[in-house]
Structure 1
């Protein structure tokens, strides 16, 4: 059965196609009697307005591109849900993509978003794509950076940002270990091309300096994956002397840290203490783990990003004035 057209609806309701359009878009004056006739015809014919035609007419696709390093990470899932819950009721749909911490793939996805004519982009960048983002922003596409900043624009950025206070959070998390008497600490960090990797490591060094210690911890630089957490623990346990505590600066790596410690037959915190930037749900399965963690708020961050997106799409705020939102998170213990 062929789809009904707007001309067929107009004929059935005995009105013009322009009148049908006004009723469906709720624009312009239409009497209640005519409006009811049009809506009855739409229902009877099961007419579905063309999304493509609507986007061409309104110069909007009603889609927002969301590019994150790993859409399966609960942290980024929480952010995405927060965005969706804000923009969804306004008629926007999200297109999700994972860059896999690969700057080249991220560049290709950004190009795809532009080709798809998305109305805005939310990005947790994998790094090294500053020129492309500046060009896209200059073309008029609203871009909201979430969780991560651009390397060349960490100060005075022209792009909207929703981030965490990574330096302060990592510093306070490290202090928990130092206050417990640990001075030999292993740090599981992410790549330096990513702002979270740079800032969180800076927070660790800041805390050590404040305690009068030489800021030279044992470091494993990974790529924010579970496997990297596993490899980091293996490296630390082979060191001489071994660290008495591990601080993992990403929740996925923290999961790998916990898995490998348990697999090695060690107990937390009796044999080795652990602190995580971000909650690890599996940590609750351990018996009395004493695990310190930064209680992140990804859903709220997503909501804030969604609010900024809507303000940009509606042009409520001039693009020359970037919007910044920094989340200050608390430390909890399992």
Structure 2
């Protein structure tokens, strides 16, 4: 059976294709009797309107592209859920992409989404694509940054941004450990090219300097992955004087830290204290009382990003919008 077309629907309903189009798009007057005939023909022929043709006519695809470093990270999925709950009310759907912390892949995904004519792009950048991002924005492509800022000179050219106060959160974690008496601290960080990595490390160093510690902490630069946290623990425990506390500046790396410490038979916090930027769901399951963490609010961030997206798509706002969230430190009881 051949695929139904708008011409076949028009013939079945004994109307013009223009009338069928008006009924489908609910534009212009069509009498109730004719409207009923068109709907009957659509149902009989199982006609499916072309989304591509509709998007060309309306100059909208009702698609929003989302590029994040890791789509398996619950933090980014929380943000995405918040976005979806806002933009979905206006009929927009999300197209998910993972850059895998790879700048080249991110660049290709940006171009792909642009060619797909998405109505807006949400980006948690892996770094290195400031020029490309600004070229797209200057061409009229709405772009909202989440979680991460652009690096270098591009940071001075504002785009819409929804992010956390990374430096403040890391500062609070470090200050708490220092107040608990820990001065030999290991820091598990992500790639330095990511703004989150740079800002959180700055927060650690600020707290240490205020405490009178001018030396740099033990540092492991990982890749914001569980495996990175596991490798960091292995490196720290090889030190002549291993750290008495570990700060992990990403929730997935924190999971790796916890798993490896448990695997090596170390008790938390008696043998090694742990602080995490972001809650680790397994922290409660592994029964780690005393685990400090920054309580992030990805769903609320996503809702705010969704509100900004709709304003941009509707062309309701001109000036760039920046929302920075300050999160609290908590402890598993």
Q: Which moved more, 1:293-302 or 1:152-161?
A: 152-161
- Partner of residue 132, structure 2: 132
Alignment of 1:302-313 (within 5 A): 302-313=302-313
After superposition, give the CA deviation of every residue in 1:11-52 in whole Å (9 maximum; x if it has no partner).
333322212211211222223333233223222222111011
- Partner of residue 331, structure 2: 333
Alignment of 1:141-152 (within 5 A): 141-152=141-152
1:41 equivalenced with 2:32 (yes/no)? no
Q: Aligned to 1:323, which of 321, 324, 333?
A: 321
The alpha carbon displacement at 1:155 in A equals 5.0
Residues in 2 aligned to 1:6 and 1:127: alpha-carbon distance in whole angstroms: 46
Do 1:311 and 1:317's aligned partners in 2 also have CA atoms closer than 8 Å? yes
- Partner of residue 21, structure 2: 21
Q: Which moved more, 1:34-43 or 1:233-242?
A: 34-43
Matched residue of 2:224: which SS? coil
The alpha carbon displacement at 1:153 in A equals 5.3
Residues in 2 aligned to 1:332 and 1:37: alpha-carbon distance in whole angstroms: 62
TM-aligned CA distance change 1:52 to 1:81, over 3 Å:
same
Residues in 2 aligned to 1:132 and 1:213: alpha-carbon distance in whole angstroms: 40
Q: Which moved more, 1:124-133 or 1:37-46?
A: 37-46
- Partner of residue 192, structure 2: 192
TM-aligned CA distance change 1:154 to 1:182, over 3 Å:
farther
Residues in 2 aligned to 1:81 and 1:91: alpha-carbon distance in whole angstroms: 15
Query: In the comparison of the two structures, how many residue pairs are matched?
Result: 332
After superposition, give the CA deviation of every residue in 1:143-162 in whole Å (9 maximum; x if it has no partner).
11111010135754331111
After superposition, give the CA deviation of every residue in 1:95-154 in whole Å (9 maximum; x if it has no partner).
211111111111111111122222211111110110110111111111111110101357
Residues in 1 aligned to 2:72 and 2:123: alpha-carbon distance in whole angstroms: 15
Matched residue of 1:38: which SS? helix
Unaligned stretches of 5+ in structure 2? none
Do 2:149 and 2:155's aligned partners in 1 also have CA atoms closer than 8 Å? no
1:256 equivalenced with 2:268 (yes/no)? no
Unaligned stretches of 5+ in structure 1? none
Do 2:130 and 2:154's aligned partners in 1 also have CA atoms closer than 8 Å? no
Do 2:5 and 2:47's aligned partners in 1 also have CA atoms closer than 8 Å? yes
CA RMSD of aligned residues (A): 1.5
- Partner of residue 275, structure 1: 275
- Partner of residue 227, structure 1: 227
Residues in 2 aligned to 1:70 and 1:287: alpha-carbon distance in whole angstroms: 27
- Partner of residue 31, structure 2: 31
Do 1:157 and 1:322's aligned partners in 2 also have CA atoms closer than 8 Å? no
- Partner of residue 174, structure 2: 174
Q: Which moved more, 1:223-232 or 1:5-14?
A: 5-14
Tell me the TM-score normalised to structure 2 length.
0.95
After superposition, give the CA deviation of every residue in 1:138-196 in whole Å (9 maximum; x if it has no partner).
11111111110101357543311110010111111111111111111111111111000
Residues in 1 aligned to 2:197 and 2:54: alpha-carbon distance in whole angstroms: 43
